[in-house]
Copies of this chain bind each other. A is one copy, B any other.
Amino acid sequence: MSASLLEQLIDAFRVLPGVGQKSAQRMAYHVLEREREGGRRLADTLAKAIERIGHCRRCRDFSETDICATCGSASRDAHQLCLVESPADRLAIEQATGYRGLYFVLQGRLSPLDGIGPRELGLDTLAARLAEGEVQEMIIATNPTVEGEATAHYLAQLARQHKVRPSRLAHGVPLGGELEYVDRGTLSHAFGSRSEMPD
């Protein structure tokens, strides 16, 4: 017997993070009982977003256009480049701090066992950009996890090869934590008191 459309819908909701069987059921019933209009909008927007949102050619962040609004903005300081693991981390920094420089989104971190090396993180593009000579400081905001620290170390070496000064967010971000979930105050403080990385 094939699954009913309702069962298929409950199953489909489980693709969302943190959503198990029970929450998926609640979501399906809630939408069908009380939010058909909002549910239709969600379906439309989700389909459209998946179709149209790609990555900025310059910073690898999500973008509907070839070059994102931040990279294309004349009012951002091109001397500072902040490196983050994910678009969510970039958003967290943008919302919590007064940073006016540019970003580079790795879309991951070095993880040799998973086959994620420098190429997968776009570090060839990054190296070419550093070679342009405009970037003076590289703010390395990878997560303070083992892999994030190893990635930071690798990035700092790459920066020095191009005479770019690497810096790292100050302690204050809890060790082993995920940047995305750090409260604004802590993140803002850590960002402000970043220090130059030792050799």
Contact = CB atoms under 8 A, between A and B. Distances in A.
A36 B36 CA distance: 23
Contact of A50 (B13, B43, B88): B43
A41 to B, nearest CB: 5
Contacts of A35: 15
Instruction: Name the interface size band of chain A.
Output: 35 or more
User: Which of A31, A40, A42, A47 is packed against the most chain B CB atoms within 10 Å?
Assistant: A42
Interface stretch (A17-25, A115-123, A127-135, A150-158): A17-25
A29 B64 contact: no
Contacts of A6: 49, 53, 62, 64
Contacts of A195: none
A9 interface: yes
User: What secondary structure prevails in chain A residues at the interface with B?
Assistant: helix
B53 A46 contact: no
A32 B44 contact: no
Given A9-B46, A15-B38, A33-B107, 7 more contacts: A5-B64, A12-B46, A25-B88, A26-B180, A32-B53, A39-B50, A42-B43
21 contacts: A5-B52, A6-B62, A8-B45, A9-B45, A15-B39, A15-B42, A25-B88, A26-B180, A28-B49, A29-B86, A29-B87, A31-B46, A32-B62, A32-B87, A33-B107, A36-B50, A39-B46, A40-B47, A43-B43, A43-B44, A44-B47
Interface of A: 4-6, 8-9, 12-13, 15-18, 23, 25-33, 35-36, 38-50, 52-53, 62, 64, 69, 86-88, 91, 107, 180
